[in-house]
Structure 1
Amino acid sequence: MFNGVSSGTTTPLVNTPKSTPSTPAGSSSSFGGNIFSNGLNILGSNATEQQTTPSINRSKGINAWQVCPGSINPYPQAFTWSTFMGDEVIAFASGRHVMVYCGNSFVQLLDGHDETITSVKWSNLHGRIAACSRGKIVIYSPVEDEVDNGALKKSPSWIVEQVINSTDEFECMDWNFYGDRLIVGGKTTMIFEGKPILGNQVYKWNMVWKYDNPTPIYLVAYSPDEKYFATVSKFDRLVKVWYRNKPQVRVSLFTPVITIVDPKSTSQTIEDDEEESFSYIYLPHPRSVTSISWRFKDIQSQQRDEFTANVLLTTSIDNV
């Protein structure tokens, strides 16, 4: 039934002569064509003389004014936002795809995954997008398009820069402040470092550190100066704050803390025969931790070797 149209007879809408034959709802004699046509009046051309009724005059037809995307995957880090070319942009995981929006406008759908995406992260400095799923990490980089007049104009579009395959399952990730390091976590924690191979546009990403977690982590966050990163396992009340095993790193900046240095070696040999080694301390909480984040620093005032205070913000299931 649709506005008086039943399966057997047709009820007149507005003073329609009884001699008018019964017509399917999709034909032009009853509704003036497909009711989903762009800008078409729902009553059609045959109802011109019948539009004296005020309620009919207000009917302007049915237009497709918004396309609703799929829902966000149910993971804590399946949504990310940043600024790109002066605009606020968001990216989120929906099934096996990454949806990119600029404000309310849909920009692009990014593919490359065979499994459900668990985490999406935006690099604030270079505009790269990283997404991870079971056994795969895909890094997307922004591209420049050439307009008709020959001038180069940046457009919000991304292409696959590199696909990293693994046997591990990943649930979280984060970029460092400078966009040249990516940390991913799950059953294992890995750090990938990017080295430019074509100017500063294309990077090659290699693993420089790996650690097997006793329990899988589902939250990870880099500090702005890259001196620390924090990890949390699900239903865990202890936040691990990791730091490099170098003399200039002062772990005593965090209070209150319980210092427990991992007795196992956490070093990983990389291509240039250097070793990266990390230890960690615990930040205890009364209940399970639900989110972690570092206080943001302005990129214009940040320097790599400058000492700056790091503030880690956490929340727990007890709302503290």
Structure 2
Amino acid sequence: MHRHQILTGAANPSDYSFAAGSIESIHFVAYTAGYNIVILSGDFQRIQILLSGNENNQCLLTCIDCTHESGKIVVGFGNQVCIYEPTVTSERSLHHQVNYRWSLKSTLTCSNEKITAVAWHPKGDQLIVVCESGLQVWFNQTDENEARPSKVNFQIGGIDTSTKVSANTGSKSWKNVWSYKSASPIKHVTYSNDGCLFATASQNDRLVKIWYRTEDSSPIVSFTSTYLPHPRAVTYISWRQTSQFFAEGTVANCLLTCCKDNICRIWCETMQ
């Protein structure tokens, strides 16, 4: 008998229990099932099942998100966040074309509260973590104290014996650079396609907040917001997808919002 189908289990009961991502234009889907992370190909063939190692804590995975360039995956459970990164594998599958395997790279303890949502920056170097009382913005920073080559060596022909520096050189650490306390629990959070803005909305909230980084000379990272008013509670928000080859700020960001008055609204950024 031949294998017909593999059932990987139902997704956890959460609004952020599944996400879509891509790496080198290869699409995949990831979702949380109990304490595990299930990764499927674009046509829903099983690629990998990650064991989160969270069984002893008895906390189900509550949220997940994926990047659309580097293929990184982030999941939240309890008050912790786990970040997984893909690596190329020599294994070949007859059922899918995703020749990558994911492994745990970082674990962050964000607060003493339950994490309810996570959102990746498009470049994968920033992360929004939503907890019960607000949100936190985390940056992935390269250790500036690590040694770097003092010069670039060029050679014609022969074998280059100079020191080679890989793309992964430099130890990176995640740092909480900004926090915000919300009057009510945040329900929706998403980055714009260029990463310059992110939008949030609370449960049964009529106001959508658009956050952007303040421009000043201070080294301290801070964000400020503007409001998009609605007649009734907002139920869904989504940014317009644009090509990754556009430079930041060259294309106006557009936000789609859905409201309980059964009307969808499109908000366009004013370019200066």
For normalisation by structure 2, the TM-score amounts to: 0.76
Give the whole-Å Cα distance in 2 for the aligned partners of 1:126 and 1:84.
5
User: In structure 2, what is the Cα distance between the partners aligned to 1:218 and 1:275?
Assistant: 27
1:107 paired with 2:47, answer: yes
1:122 equivalent in structure 2: 66
Answering whether residue 180 of structure 2 is matched by residue 219 of structure 1, we say no
* Compared CA separation, residues 116 and 200, structure 1 to 2 (3 A): farther
AA aligned opposite 2:45: S
Structure 1 residues 200 and 219, CA gap change in structure 2 (3 angstroms): farther
Detail structure 1 runs of 4+ shifted over 3 Å in the superposition: 196-203
Query: Hey, what does 1:140 align to over in structure 2?
Result: 84
- Equivalent positions of 1:1-320 (< 5 A) are 39=1, 64-102=3-41, 103-112=43-52, 113=54, 114=57, 115-146=59-90, 155-166=99-110, 167-186=112-131, 187-196=133-142, 199-201=166-168, 203-246=172-215, 274-300=219-245, 302-304=246-248, 306-320=249-263
Aligned 8 A contact 2:84 2:104 in 1? yes
Max Rg structure: 1
* Matches of 2:211 and 2:60, distance apart in 1: 29
Q: Distance in 2 between matches of 1:200 and 1:232?
A: 37
Matched letter for residue 278 of structure 1: F
Q: CA deviation at 1:276?
A: 1.3
1:286 Cα offset (Å):
2.0
Q: Which residue pairs with 1:16 in the alignment?
A: none
User: How big is the alpha-carbon RMSD for the aligned residues of Structure 1 and Structure 2?
Assistant: 2.4
SS of the residue 2:27 aligns to? strand
**Residue 276 of structure 1: SS of its match in structure 2?**
coil
Asked if structure 2 preserves the Cα contact closer than 8 Å seen for 1:244 and 1:277, the reply is yes
Distance in 2 of aligned mates of 1:156 and 1:135: 28
Give the Å deviation of 1:127. 1.0
Distance 1:192 1:125, change over 3 A: same
- Percent pairwise identity: 29
Q: Classify 1:146/1:228 alpha carbon distance in 2 versus 1 (closer, same or farther; 3 Å).
A: same
Name the one with the larger helix percent. Answer: 1
Q: CA deviation at 1:214?
A: 1.4
Quick one: distance in 2 between partners of 1:154 and 1:75? Answer: 27
Aligned residues: 228
After superposition, the Cα gap between the structure-2 partners of 1:105 and 1:239, relative to the gap in structure 1 and judged at 3 Å, is same
Cα gap change, 1:181/1:100 in structure 2, threshold over 3 Å: closer, same or farther? same
Q: Tell me which residue corresponds to 1:251.
A: none
**Contact in 1 for aligned 2:65/2:74 (Cα 8 Å):** yes
Distance of aligned partners of 1:135 and 1:199 in 2 relative to their CA distance in 1, 3 Å threshold:
farther
Q: 8 Å contact 2:29–2:44 — kept in the other structure?
A: no
Does the aligned pair in 2 maintain the 1:143–1:154 contact within 8 Å? no
Ranges in structure 2 where 5+ consecutive residues have no aligned partner:
144-164, 264-272
In the aligned structure 2, how far is the partner of 1:206 from the partner of 1:143?
Answer: 24
| DSSP 3-state at the match of 2:32 | strand
In structure 2, relative to structure 1, the CA distance for the partners of 1:205 and 1:308 (3 Å cut) is same
Structure 1 segments unaligned to the other structure (5+ residues): 1-38, 40-62, 248-272
**For residues 83-134 of structure 1, what are the alpha-carbon distances to aligned partners after superposition, in whole Å with 9 as ceiling and x for unaligned?**
2344321001112221100123111112323422221111112110011122
Give me the TM-score of the superposition, normalised by structure 1.
0.65
Q: 1:118 to 1:236 in 2, by over 3 A?
A: same
